Structure 1
Amino acid sequence: MKLEKLDVKKLAKMIDHTCLKPYATKQDLEKLCKEAKEVDTAMIAINTEWTRFCKELLKDTDVHVGAAISFPLGQEGLPVKLYETEYAISEGADEIDYVIHIGKAKMHDWAYLEDEMRQINDICKKHHVICKVIFETCYLSDDEIIELAKIASKVKPDFIKTSTGFGTAGATAHHVRLMKENAKEDVKVKAAGGIRDLKTALEMVEAGAERIGTSSTLKILEEASQDFKV
């Protein structure tokens, strides 16, 4: 989306409001859902355990529930990832954000990663659920990011995503551009990790991101309400 066409409501609908802390409590998730309803975000991003609980809290809204699969390391092994994906969907997940096997990317085992992406994407498509593939770009070279984006251009998940927010760095505009250019028009890009203010969020949108993952949603939208021209 062009920045000049963006307003606060449209920006909110690009945001996945996030609570993936390992110490998240029921109260944290209730607060997350309440905030997401109030500002009308695209999705909440949560750990799989909370899927059914949050689905109930958001049942009268169009805010999606997104489950984080194999989070944040991506090392559980494909059968476990497939099971967790099916389980999250059975609990009510509208979207799946899964972490690739990052070690396999560093080993350049592209056949494994294509098979992983295809199998998880197939489950999502069978259930009409959005599939997002997390690269964790901070650990990858540009060439590795390009190769993964090219695989995505063949498999066609709904989104490829920069980061978990638990790595050594988060999203960069450079990585977003690289992903967008090589995944082609059928695959969207989600930027996540380290996006804590409006300036950074808009940099990601300008680079080609169509979703933003952040736990700083309210701060970003408050800045937008003051900065955007009405």
Structure 2
Amino acid sequence: MPTRSEVAQMVDHTLLKPESTPAQVAELAAEGAELGVYSICVSPNQLPVTVPGGVKVATVCGFPSGAHQSEVKAAEAARSVRDGADEVDMVVDLALVKTGRWAEVEADIRAVRDACPAPVVLKVIIESAALTDDEIVACCEAAERAGADFVKTSTGFHPAGGASVEAVALMARTVGGRLGVKASGGIRTAEAALAMIDAGATRLGLSGTRAVLDGLDGSAASADPADEGTLGAGHSDTADY
């Protein structure tokens, strides 16, 4: 079983509520550094943000619907990088996915990739809970062709739900280690986090990071939805990222 510090280094410690305040983001950053996470993930309007301890800064693009023109997503991503983002998590155009327009899905992702070239890390959110297995595979293949670094299960905002072990395993098999796999959405316990890692997740999107890590220590058998971290109004028990 991975150690607490090893799991922490897989975590994007996340606060994406639209009503989040700069004070809450500053608290997220301090908590992320304390917990030893890989990155914090915040909305573009909260950039730039200073994070102590070398923690990376991630943001989102075309969030949460993905229903934006590609040039708008590209401009948003480029602005976020100028504002200090190390990583960008973009949402695919689900209308294109559901109609099987895979060349256009790839072009949408590539537009963002071109706007934020390496070393910026690009993660592609596919909303796996809203897709068939064939659509998950095709989305992952399009993301790889377009030069993405990760595929990611969910925004945490879609009514279809968040991450599942089955979706993570399918995504991991499809990308075969060539891309990372980020599990995000509804991961509230140590047990759930470990199941995602066992299925092939190489990054975790968590809003209740402290509760998950405490569970690894055996000090908390599961995360209490009333104690989703220490950020008060910034978190909820229904939206996990």
TM-score (norm 2): 0.87
Count, aligned residues = 219
1:123 is aligned with what amino acid?
A
1:9 aligns with 2:5: yes
Residues in 1 aligned to 2:148 and 2:126: alpha-carbon distance in whole angstroms:
13
Where does residue 233 of structure 2 map in the other structure? none
Where does residue 146 of structure 2 map in the other structure? 155
Residues in 2 aligned to 1:186 and 1:119: alpha-carbon distance in whole angstroms:
20
Counting only pairs closer than 5 Å after superposition, residues 1-230 of structure 1 correspond to structure 2 as: 4=1, 6-52=2-48, 54=49, 56=50, 58=51, 60-126=52-118, 128-168=119-159, 169-226=161-218
SS at match of 1:61: helix
Shift, 1:40, TM fit: 1.3
RMSD: 1.4
2:15 is aligned with what amino acid?
C
Check 1:152–1:76 CA distance in 2 against 1; reply closer, same or farther (3 A cut): closer
Residues in 2 aligned to 1:194 and 1:171: alpha-carbon distance in whole angstroms:
7
- % identity of equivalent residues: 35
Residues in 2 aligned to 1:140 and 1:111: alpha-carbon distance in whole angstroms:
17
Residue ranges of structure 2 left out of the alignment (5+ in a row): 220-241
Shift, 1:149, TM fit: 1.3
Q: Is the 8 A contact 2:75 2:115 kept in 1?
A: no
Point out the more displaced range, 188-197 or 143-152. Answer: 143-152
**Deviation per residue, 1:108-151 (Å, 9 max, x gap):** 1101111111221233325x201100001121111100111122
SS at match of 2:53: coil
Point out the more displaced range, 172-181 or 113-122. Answer: 113-122
SS at match of 1:166: coil
SS at match of 1:125: coil
Would you tell me which structure has more helix in proportion to its own residues?
Answer: 1
SS at match of 2:116: helix
Residues in 1 aligned to 2:156 and 2:143: alpha-carbon distance in whole angstroms:
21
Q: Is the 8 A contact 1:156 1:186 kept in 2?
A: no
State the 4+ residue runs in structure 1 displaced beyond 4 angstroms: none
2:128 is aligned with what amino acid?
T
Shift, 1:28, TM fit: 1.2
SS at match of 2:54: coil
Shift, 1:38, TM fit: 0.3
TM-score (norm 1): 0.91
Q: Is the 8 A contact 1:37 1:61 kept in 2?
A: yes
Shift, 1:222, TM fit: 0.8
SS at match of 2:163: coil
Residue ranges of structure 1 left out of the alignment (5+ in a row): none
Q: Is the 8 A contact 1:149 1:160 kept in 2?
A: yes
